[in-house]
Amino acid sequence: MDYNKILSDIYDEIQPLAGQGKQADYIPELAKVDPDQFGMSLETISGEMYSISDADVRFSIQSISKVFSLALCFSVVGDELWKRVGKEPSGAAFNSLIQLEIEKGIPRNPFINSGNLVVADILLSKLEYPEEKFISFVRSLAQNEEIDYCMRVAHSEREKSYLNAAIVNILKYYGNIENDIERVLHFYFMMCSVEMSCAELARAFIPFANHKMPFDYAGVTLTSSQIKRMNAIMQTCGFYDEAGEFSFLVGLPGKSGVGGGIAAIHPMRYSVAVWSPRLNDKGNSIMGMKALELLTTKTEESIF
- HSE-up (13 A, CA, CB side) for residue 167: 26
For 4, residues 6+ apart whose C-beta sits below 8 A from its C-beta are 50
Nearer to ligand GLU, 257 or 277 (CB): 257
Binds ligand GLU by CB under 6 A, chosen from 44, 75, 90, 95: 95
Say which amino acid occupies 233. Answer: I
- Going by C-alpha positions, the residue among 202, 260, 210, 264 that lies closest to residue 52 is 202
- Going by C-alpha positions, the residue among 258, 237, 300, 246 that lies closest to residue 99 is 237
Write down how long the chain is. 304
- 112-116: long-range contacts (C-beta < 8 A, 24 or more apart)? 112/237, 112/240, 113/163, 113/164, 113/167, 113/188, 114/167, 114/170, 114/171, 115/66, 115/85, 115/86, 116/63, 116/66, 116/69, 116/70, 116/188, 116/191
Binds ligand GLU by CB under 6 A, chosen from 41, 44, 63, 140: 63
Query: Binding of ligand GLU at residue 258 (CB under 6 A)?
Result: yes
Query: Binding of ligand GLU at residue 157 (CB under 6 A)?
Result: yes
In the chain, DSSP assigns E strands to: 39-44, 49-53, 59-60, 195-196, 215-217, 220-222, 254-256, 261-266, 270-275
Q: CA 64, CA 266: separation in Å to the nearest integer?
A: 17
Nearer to ligand GLU, 66 or 269 (CB): 66
Q: CA 20, CA 1: separation in Å to the nearest integer?
A: 31
CB of 63 to ligand GLU, least distance (A): 3
Nearer to ligand GLU, 251 or 283 (CB): 283
Nearer to ligand GLU, 170 or 192 (CB): 192
Query: Binding of ligand GLU at residue 94 (CB under 6 A)?
Result: yes
Compute how many residues bind ligand GLU; rule: CB under 6 A.
11
Nearer to ligand GLU, 167 or 291 (CB): 167
Query: Binding of ligand GLU at residue 62 (CB under 6 A)?
Result: yes
Nearer to ligand GLU, 23 or 164 (CB): 164
Query: Binding of ligand GLU at residue 257 (CB under 6 A)?
Result: yes
Query: Binding of ligand GLU at residue 192 (CB under 6 A)?
Result: yes
Nearer to ligand GLU, 277 or 283 (CB): 283
CB of 209 to ligand GLU, least distance (A): 22
Query: Binding of ligand GLU at residue 29 (CB under 6 A)?
Result: no
Query: Binding of ligand GLU at residue 96 (CB under 6 A)?
Result: no
CB of 290 to ligand GLU, least distance (A): 19
Query: Binding of ligand GLU at residue 254 (CB under 6 A)?
Result: no
Binds ligand GLU by CB under 6 A, chosen from 164, 176, 231, 271: 164
List binders of ligand GLU among 103-122 (CB under 6 A).
113
- Going by C-alpha positions, the residue among 235, 226, 194, 188 that lies closest to residue 207 is 226
Q: CA 207, CA 192: separation in Å to the nearest integer?
A: 20
Please give the residue ranges that form the binding site for ligand GLU (CB under 6 A): 62-63, 94-95, 113, 157, 164, 192, 257-258, 283
